[in-house]
């Protein structure tokens, strides 16, 4: 579970780079209009829910935030200048993602117009990744004590680049399902059974980090190239889960906290839920709330961005 907690976010970064390449490689040109369109869509997709979660988290904390910290979070600039300053768990990764969006137009420009620059940029970002893994992060100190260093976007952007490059190099390559399934099984097996224990710092430093990162790339690559249609009773729930994943990711810590408050209240009245009641109730409530947030909140702003684009055109 610790590996999934750390590298689930890493896979999110890889998938983000891969899917953005898949969507924008053909239609995005190095032009002012395309850049504005890209960033407008990102703003309408990311910020409304980010604002909602930030405000709710502040209200639940019952603490008045520092104005500067609040401004950085609501503007998204915290990802660039104060990446460990956020009000709800998990939001740090959204700040990282906003930084990656600033890199993305350069990725597109360089692979289309200046391939040597893309090679140079890739080498630099890989060098940064290795620098953090082998030098900056100390394997003798708990990860919590080095959290600011770990969540530095320069320590994560290579993952986003890796997803982009998977799309770039393998976009037109067809691979047999048997080979893809074998690679997928291998990647999941190594990720699961590779011996690494103790504090999470041991899986994000040194050779271990390279191994787990390679597994993340391999797993994402396999799902990208896999040509297999699941039965509808599996396909539809997974599709829904994917569509609501942004809401699930940001909302689940808030639901967890609210559930804890409810259980504490019940405890004062000598009403105690089953041992795993909080976990199961939180999961169920998160899925339900995320479904409605996606359909009636996120989609509203996504449509608004689309309508604004059409009006401009």
pLDDT for 29 beyond 90? no
Question: Nearest Cα to 87, choosing from 124, 112, 62, 109?
Answer: 62
Question: How far does Cα 99 stand from its chain's mean position?
Answer: 12
Per-residue model confidence (pLDDT) at position 138: 97
- Please answer whether residues 96 and 79 qualify as being in contact, where contact means their C-beta atoms are separated by less than 8 angstroms: yes
Rounded-to-integer distance, Cα 112 and Cα 186, Å: 33
Say whether 20 sits in a helix, a strand or coil: helix
Per-residue model confidence (pLDDT) at position 27: 86
Say whether 64 sits in a helix, a strand or coil: coil
Rounded-to-integer distance, Cα 106 and Cα 109, Å: 5
Per-residue model confidence (pLDDT) at position 292: 97
What are the pLDDT digits (tens) for 141-191? 999 999 999 999 999 999 999 999 999 999 989 999 999 999 999 999 999
Per-residue model confidence (pLDDT) at position 210: 97
Per-residue model confidence (pLDDT) at position 309: 60
Helices (H), 114-205: 115-131, 147-150, 157-170, 177-193
Contacts (Cβ under 8 Å, ≥6 apart) of 124:
none
SS (H, E, C) 68-99: HHHHHHHHCCHHHHCCCCCCCCCHHHHHHHHH
What predicted TM-score, i.e. pTM, was given to this entire model? Answer: 0.93
What are the pLDDT digits (tens) for 240-287? 999 999 999 999 999 999 998 888 888 887 777 777 888 999 999 999
The residue ranking higher by pLDDT, 118 or 33, is 118
Encoded tokens for 7: 């590298």
Question: Nearest Cα to 104, choosing from 16, 188, 189?
Answer: 16
pLDDT for 299 beyond 90? yes
pLDDT for 310 beyond 80? no
For the residues 212-226, what does the mean pLDDT come to? 96
């Amino acid at each position: 579970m610790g590996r999934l907690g750390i590298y689930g976010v890493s896979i999110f970064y890889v998938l983000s780079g891969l899917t953005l390449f898949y969507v924008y490689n053909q239609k995005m040109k190095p032009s002012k209009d395309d850049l504005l369109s890209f960033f407008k869509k990102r703003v309408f997709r990311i910020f409304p829910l980010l604002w909602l979660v930030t405000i709710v988290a502040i209200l639940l904390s019952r603490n008045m935030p520092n104005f500067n910290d609040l401004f950085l979070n609501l503007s998204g600039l915290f990802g660039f200048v104060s990446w460990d300053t956020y009000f709800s768990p998990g939001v740090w990764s959204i700040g990282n993602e906003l930084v990656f969006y600033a890199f993305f137009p350069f990725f597109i420009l360089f692979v289309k117009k200046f391939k040597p620059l893309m090679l140079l940029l890739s080498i630099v970002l890989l060098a940064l990744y290795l620098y953090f893994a082998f030098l900056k992060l100390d394997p003798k100190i708990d990860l919590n004590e080095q959290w600011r260093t770990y969540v530095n976007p320069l320590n994560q952007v290579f993952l986003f680049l890796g997803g982009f490059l998977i799309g770039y190099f393998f976009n037109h390559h067809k691979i047999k399902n048997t080979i893809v399934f074998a690679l997928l099984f291998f990647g999941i097996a190594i990720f699961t059974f590779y011996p690494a224990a103790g504090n999470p710092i041991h899986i994000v430093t040194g050779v271990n980090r390279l191994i787990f990162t390679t597994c993340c790339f391999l797993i994402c690559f396999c799902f990208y190239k896999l040509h297999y249609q699941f039965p509808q009773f599996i396909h539809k729930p997974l599709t829904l889960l994917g569509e609501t994943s942004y809401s699930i990711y940001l909302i689940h810590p808030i639901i967890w906290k609210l559930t804890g408050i409810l259980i504490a209240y019940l405890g004062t009245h000598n009403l105690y839920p089953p041992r795993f009641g909080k976990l199961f109730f939180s999961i169920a409530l998160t899925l339900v709330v995320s479904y409605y947030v996606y359909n009636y909140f996120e989609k509203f702003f996504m449509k608004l961005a689309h309508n604004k684009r059409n009006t401009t055109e």
